[in-house]
Structure 1
Amino acid sequence: MSSNTEALKSNLGEAGTHLKQAAVAAGDALKSAASAAGDEMKLGKAQMKSELADGALAGISAGEHLGGATGEQVDVLMEKGRDLIDSAAELIRERPLAAFGVAFAAGWIISKLARSEK
């Protein structure tokens, strides 16, 4: 064999060895990347579960306050109703004839509307 042929074989063998090592390095890199991605997925999953749990607790807390808020709104409406009744009573005391006339007119209109529906 000539020295060129031997050099070619030697260089091709060395190139093959480097390609094998490159393939092994690429495989190791992929394994490391897959492992890191798996770890990130686990971390993300844990964070997601934590956020969902916190959201559920906030929803439960809001539900607990819903009854109180509803009660407060009912109290406000009742107070406004009392104020309206007090205003009406004061108007009746100040102008009983006008109040009677308004009540009579409202009753007459309601009776006419009720008859026309039949």
Structure 2
Amino acid sequence: MSPTNTENMKEHLGEAGAHLKSAASTAGSAVKGAAGAAGDELRLGKANLKAELSDSALSGLAAAELGGAAAKEQVDALMDKGKDLMDSAADLIRERPLASFGVAFAAGWIIAKLARSND
């Protein structure tokens, strides 16, 4: 006796159900795998971000340390220029003492006049 249409339909529905169950299981595994891969990628990204931020902080600290050394270099250069200027002034005073005295006297007199005119 050959199977009836009802039996064939039940058999095909059973196969369809088995395939749906298998598809659901495969989809679940795929979602779990995707979530795991996304989690791994997120952890890797987080680690890379931390490494870059750490490198940035170290570079900033190194720049700050070098900034202090650079400021000291600039101060030393200014001090050297100031010493050179003082030496030049001392040489000029030695070469022309009367002219230097006259200029200093005139500058003092002008400053005194300006100070009195403000009172």
The answer for the alignment partner of 1:114 in structure 2 is: 115
Query: Distance between the aligned counterparts of 2:19 and 2:35, measured in 1?
Result: 24
Aligned length: 117
Deviations 1:37-69 (CA, angstroms, capped at 9, x unpaired): 111222222222223333333333334434433
- Between 1:36-45 and 1:52-61, the stretch displaced more is 52-61
Deviations 1:3-40 (CA, angstroms, capped at 9, x unpaired): 2x444444444333323322221211111111111112
Query: Per the alignment, do residues 75 and 13 of structure 1 end up closer, same or farther by CA in structure 2, a change over 3 Å counting?
Result: same
TM-score (norm 2): 0.70
Query: Per the alignment, do residues 75 and 10 of structure 1 end up closer, same or farther by CA in structure 2, a change over 3 Å counting?
Result: same
Letter in structure 2 aligned against 1:37: A
Query: Aligned-residue CA RMSD in angstroms?
Result: 2.8
Query: Distance between the aligned counterparts of 2:116 and 2:88, measured in 1?
Result: 31
Deviations 1:56-109 (CA, angstroms, capped at 9, x unpaired): 333333344344333222211110001111222233334444433433333233
Alignment of 1:11-30 (within 5 A): 11-30=12-31
Query: Per the alignment, do residues 6 and 81 of structure 1 end up closer, same or farther by CA in structure 2, a change over 3 Å counting?
Result: same
Letter in structure 2 aligned against 1:71: K
Unaligned runs of 5+ in 2: none
Query: Distance between the aligned counterparts of 1:106 and 1:52, measured in 2?
Result: 59
Unaligned runs of 5+ in 1: none
TM-score (norm 1): 0.70
Alignment of 1:1-118 (within 5 A): 3=5, 5-118=6-119
> What percentage of aligned pairs have identical amino acids?
66
